[in-house]
């Protein structure tokens, strides 16, 4: 039985994914590096430095470690400015209802995000006090598709991994959840992921609590 839900943040609860895109685009344009939405799709769920490495594959010259740190810092500065405007109303459709429904239904909830900006984003959208645990980019060394962030979230919730459902919009996050031995609801870009246990275009189109209640006994071996 699922007793805990771990939410990815960017692209699941709030549409910061567009701000990540705009910030990388500006950094890449300043460096004369090709960057578009198709390349951006591969960055979902991936840490800042790993994202930069992927972008630099299209660079015409080699960048030193110091230069890379400078570029990551520059991108983050642009990103942090963009997220200043975030308000509770900017949560994605169905996100707030889902969080509240699960809390009321007695399901433990956590954040499992690669982002080091998680604390300030939760603060901007007024959700800081909603979660029983937070695992984010500040607490891990390996980014999705590594399962580290989800395993840490489960540990902080004091829940076994096979009682956790992850909600993800990134293919890297779906893979991370599967590697952690967890079930996963794919939304947004991950709503067509064949590896997801269940899929929904948006949290607005599904009651996660009803789904959990209607699936009291899962055949985990079959699912995985």
H/E run at residue 121: helix 118-124
Footprint of Mg ion on residues 147-206 (CB under 5 A)? Answer: 169-170
CB nearer Mg ion, residue 31 or residue 136: 136
For residue 127, the partner it binds in ligand BG6, Mg ion, none, with Cβ less than 5 to 8 A by kind, is none
Minimum distance of ligand BG6 from residue 76's CB (angstroms):
6
User: CB of residue 13 vs Mg ion: minimum separation in angstroms?
Assistant: 9
Q: What is the 3-state secondary structure (H, E, C) of 142-211?
A: CCCCCCHHHHHHHHHHCCCHHHEEEEECCHHHHHHHHHCCCEEEEEHHHCCCCCCCEEECCHHHCCHHHH
Please tell me the distance from the alpha carbon of residue 174 to that of residue 178, in angstroms, as a whole number. 6
- 76 vs 207 by CB, closer to ligand BG6: 76
Annotated catalytic residue 8? yes
Residues that bind ligand BG6 (CB under 6 A): 9-10, 17, 20, 43-48, 51, 76, 113-117, 137, 170
The set of residues, in sequence order, having a beta carbon less than 8 Å from that of 93 and lying 6+ positions away, is 202, 203, 204
Among 2, 5, 6, 11, binds Mg ion (CB under 5 A): 11
User: For Mg ion, which is the closer residue by CB, 10 or 175?
Assistant: 10
From the candidates 8, 17, 136, 169, which is the catalytic residue?
Answer: 8
Shortest distance in whole angstroms from residue 172 CB to ligand BG6: 8
Q: How many CB atoms lie within 10 A of CB 74?
A: 15
Q: Which does 23 bind (CB under 5 to 8 A by kind): Mg ion, ligand BG6, none?
A: none
The burial class, CB within 10 Å (0-12 / 13-18 / 19+), for 182 is buried
Residue 200 binds which entry of ligand BG6, Mg ion, none, CB below 5-8 Å type-dependent:
none
CA distance 136 to 147: 12
Minimum gap (Å) between residue 52 Cβ and ligand BG6: 9
Interatomic CA distance for residues 16 and 131, integer angstroms:
19
For ligand BG6, the closer of residues 113 and 183 by Cβ is: 113
Q: Considering the rule CB under 5 A, would residue 94 count as an interface residue with Mg ion? A: no
Nearer to ligand BG6, 175 or 212 (CB): 175
Considering only residues 2, 4, 6, 8, which one is a binding residue for Mg ion as defined by CB under 5 A? 8
Report residue 221: phi and psi, to 5°.
-65, -40
Q: What CA–CA distance (Å, rounded) separates 159 from 196?
A: 21
Q: Which residues are catalytic?
A: 8, 10
């Amino acid at each position: 039985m699922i007793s805990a839900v771990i939410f990815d943040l960017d692209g699941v609860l709030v549409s910061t994914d567009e701000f990540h895109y705009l910030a990388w685009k500006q950094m890449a344009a300043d460096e004369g590096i090709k960057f578009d939405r198709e390349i951006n799709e591969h960055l979902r769920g991936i840490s800042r430095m790993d994202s930069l490495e992927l972008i630099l594959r299209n660079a015409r010259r080699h960048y030193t470690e110091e230069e890379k740190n400078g570029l990551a810092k520059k991108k983050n500065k642009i990103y942090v400015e963009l997220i200043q405007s975030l308000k509770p109303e900017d949560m994605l459709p169905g996100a707030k209802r889902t969080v509240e429904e699960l809390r009321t239904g007695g399901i433990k909830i956590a954040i499992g995000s690669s982002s080091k900006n998680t604390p300030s984003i939760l603060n901007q959208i007024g959700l800081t006090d909603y979660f029983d645990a937070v695992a984010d980019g500040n607490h891990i060394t390996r980014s999705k598709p590594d399962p580290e962030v989800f395993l840490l979230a489960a540990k902080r919730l004091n829940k076994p991994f096979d009682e956790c459902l992850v909600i993800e919009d990134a293919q890297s996050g779906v893979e991370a959840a599967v590697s952690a031995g967890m079930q996963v609801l794919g939304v947004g870009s991950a709503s067509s992921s064949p590896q997801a246990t269940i899929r929904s275009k948006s949290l607005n189109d599904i009651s996660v609590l009803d789904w959990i209640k209607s699936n009291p006994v899962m055949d985990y071996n079959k699912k995985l």
